[in-house]
Amino acid sequence: MTTGFFITGTDTGVGKTRVSCALLHAFAAEGKAVVGMKPVAAGCEHGKWRDVELLVAASNVVAAREQINPYALIPPLAPQIAAKLANIEIEIEVIQQAYARLKKTAEVVIVEGVGGFLVPFNHQHDGADLAKLLGLPVILVVGIRLGCLNHALLTARAIRTSGCPLIGWVANSIDPLMMAQKENIQLLAQRLDCQLLGILPFEKNSDIQLIAKLLDITKLGAA
């Protein structure tokens, strides 16, 4: 039976791809067939979408690019805006179909969202709608920096309000100069009411396989 997880964050640039790749490596280390999915990628550099390339490299299942990344948008903008500039509309049903095909090829599918949980895809749907349509439990990546308490608690409330289960969270250190990091993480651990899967240190060029060892996937009940 295939297991899937939807990875969201407290904002853009908080480490969703880092955590998604680490999860792929962690499950692969347990002998699982794994594949990453980036439903919508916005921001192309030299003809490549970096997040997608990293997810492909961390997967041990080979899949068609249109299944891994149904929507590849060039400007680094919010999905709905980038799609409008490309004269297309993102359809979450198309993403659902791609996910269904990936489920047939892997035991674990890690779906990395875009930006924060409520980022709009089109005039009707946002990230919350996609996670709900896919029927996936959510893992929240919290970028540990000033303001993370409010961002994390608001996002957790939005996830639960959507009806999606918040199954765990990861503390990802993104500001090495932040004061009271430990205290902030402790407060979040008390208030988020879900499993803390790991605390990731600030490292610019971290070895993702070593980072994977810092995540306790047994808390997800799927390893």
For 215, residues 6+ apart whose C-beta sits below 8 A from its C-beta are 19, 22, 23, 26, 170, 197, 198
CA nearest neighbour of 110 among 218, 32, 5: 5
13 torsion bin: left (phi>0), alpha (psi -120 to 50), beta (else): left
CA nearest neighbour of 223 among 6, 28, 22: 28
CA nearest neighbour of 197 among 15, 1, 12: 15
**Which residues are known to be catalytic?**
38
User: Do 69 and 41 touch, CB atoms closer than 8 A?
Assistant: yes
User: Do 8 and 166 touch, CB atoms closer than 8 A?
Assistant: no
98 burial via Cβ count (<10 Å: 0-12, 13-18, 19+): buried
Phi, psi of 87 (to 5 degrees): 60, 40
CB atoms closer than 10 angstroms to residue 199: 16
